[in-house]
């Protein structure tokens, strides 16, 4: 299929589809354009949308050939494809057949490609191609990643605090790049954070799926009150259908941090309505109540990211400063022989919850463990949130010692020991002198 020029004989994203055709769930009578090299001409006359086939091995899309199907969701199908000459591997994301005639889904697909191309950051999955298959379905060509999602990694067990902080810092760096380009993700979740495996190195974090991202200056959806996002990670303003800005991503990021460091999400509920209400009105237990080895300042940071009022959430720069400081402190403590890891403590079992799917993709009710309000003891233990920028004037928990605290306490200890020795020597001399008299 030749890319670029528009063919009036082929159904493309700009072509109109009549309501009658849309309602009957079939493609309009069309004659597809001349297929390109390696592509098969498809007759699309009255093919039911749900019967559009998956791509067969060997199918040609642009310069790449399909090697295998690797996944399928409500919005799209994902394939591994290989360049037949140079052997380069790519991932191809093909829009779902059921959304083929949905103009909103079509626009999301195009917006995703534009958003990612605008950011161009190593922490954002790279999209370097866009095209339309012979049956009219759009596809993206993306870099091939080897590894697993953060959600999959968490299902295998807890992550050490230092490793978790490294992941948090990488997410913050990538998200800051998106925000600097005026792009709000709106669907951050652990399944959209990918840990790319690199031999003998720590995983490289990649943020995926900008399918419902929006620019700060874009007009809001004209359908008032429409909820978009994944309920488990949606900010209070998203849950209320209000206008959102970059701070809605900070809230979702806070949910990811909570999940990453405690093994469970901030809120659980029996249905979507309860979950949305919890985001708007409930306060989750402090992370260090669920995982006592967490430093108090880190627990406070996460809770402030989950503040109901967007203005009380910290900036990404504040998050980065605190996490960088804690990583440095941990390295110093390890260097002086202190034990930085009470990190081997087991985490609470993760709560059973909704699969991490967007609200507009949910088509069935999933069961969650019953949510609850924090106890009085938990509320007393939880640090207060006053919106103070972290890394500047925030208060450290009394049980968390920085390297400076440790050095100071050791100095005081040495002084007391030396003082006691001097006192004993003086006392001994006085006693000897008195006896000789």
Contact (CB, 8 A) for 170 and 194: no
Tokens of 175: 């998200």
Q: Do residues 301 and 341 touch, judged by C-beta distance below 8 A? A: no
- Rg over alpha carbons for the chain, rounded to the nearest Å, is 28
Dist. CA 416–CA 93, nearest whole Å: 68
Q: Which residue has the tokens 């959102």?
A: 244
156: helix, strand or coil: coil
For 271, residues 6+ apart whose C-beta sits below 8 A from its C-beta are 365, 368
Closest CA to 172 of 79, 246, 82, 272: 246
With a CB cutoff of 8 Å and minimum separation 6, the contacts of 376 are none
User: Which of 135, 187, 209, 249 is labelled catalytic?
Assistant: 187
Q: Give the residues across from 61 on adjacent strands.
A: 64
From residue 73, how far is each of 77, 100, 164, 190 by CA, in Å? 6, 14, 28, 16
Catalytic residue check, 104: no
Helices (H), 95-159: 103-119, 150-155
Tokens 């866009």 belong to which residue?
130
First to last CA, the chain: 113
Dist. CA 322–CA 396, nearest whole Å: 11
Which are the contacts of 296, defined by CB distance < 8 A and separation ≥ 6? 288, 383, 396, 397, 398, 399, 400
Residues designated as active site: 187
């Amino acid at each position: 299929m030749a890319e670029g020029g528009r063919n009036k004989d082929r159904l493309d994203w700009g072509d109109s589809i009549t309501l009658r055709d849309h309602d009957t769930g079939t493609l309009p009578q069309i004659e597809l354009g001349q297929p390109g090299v390696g592509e098969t001409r498809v007759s699309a006359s009255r093919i039911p949308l749900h019967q559009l086939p998956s791509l067969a091995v060997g199918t040609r899309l642009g310069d790449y050939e399909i090697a295998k199907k690797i996944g399928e969701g409500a919005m799209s199908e994902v394939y591994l494809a290989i360049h037949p000459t140079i052997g380069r591997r790519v991932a191809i994301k093909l829009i779902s057949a059921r959304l083929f005639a949905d103009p909103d889904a079509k626009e999301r697909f195009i917006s995703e490609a534009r958003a990612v191309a605008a950011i161009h950051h190593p922490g954002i999955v790279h999209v370097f191609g866009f095209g339309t298959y012979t049956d009219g379905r759009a596809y993206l060509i993306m870099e091939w990643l080897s590894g697993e999602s953060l959600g999959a990694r968490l299902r295998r067990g807890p992550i050490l605090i230092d490793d978790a902080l490294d992941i948090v810092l990488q997410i913050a760096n990538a998200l800051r790049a998106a925000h600097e380009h005026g792009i709000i993700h709106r669907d951050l979740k652990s399944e959209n954070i990918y840990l790319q495996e690199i031999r003998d190195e720590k995983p490289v974090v990649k943020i995926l799926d900008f399918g419902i991202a929006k620019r700060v200056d874009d007009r809001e959806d004209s359908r008032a009150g429409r909820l978009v996002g994944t309920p488990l990670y949606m900010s209070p303003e998203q849950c209320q259908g209000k206008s959102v800005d970059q701070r809605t991503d900070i809230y979702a990021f806070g949910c990811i941090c909570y999940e990453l460091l405690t093994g469970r999400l901030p809120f659980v509920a029996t249905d979507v309505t309860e979950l949305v209400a919890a985001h708007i009105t409930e306060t989750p237990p402090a992370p260090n109540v669920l995982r006592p080895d967490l430093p108090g300042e880190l627990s406070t940071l996460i809770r402030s990211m989950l503040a109901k009022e967007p203005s009380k959430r910290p900036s990404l720069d504040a998050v980065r400063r605190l996490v960088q400081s804690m990583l440095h402190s941990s390295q110093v403590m390890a260097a002086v022989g202190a034990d930085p890891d009470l990190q081997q403590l087991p985490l609470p079992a993760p709560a059973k919850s909704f699969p991490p799917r967007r609200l507009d993709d949910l088509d069935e009710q999933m069961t969650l463990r019953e949510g609850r309000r924090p106890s009085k003891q938990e509320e007393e233990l939880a640090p207060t949130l006053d919106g103070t920028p972290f890394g500047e004037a925030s208060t450290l928990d009394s049980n968390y010692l920085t390297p400076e605290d440790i050095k100071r306490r050791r100095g005081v200890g040495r002084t007391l020991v030396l003082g006691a020795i001097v006192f004993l020597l003086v006392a001994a001399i006085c006693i000897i002198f008195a006896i000789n008299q």
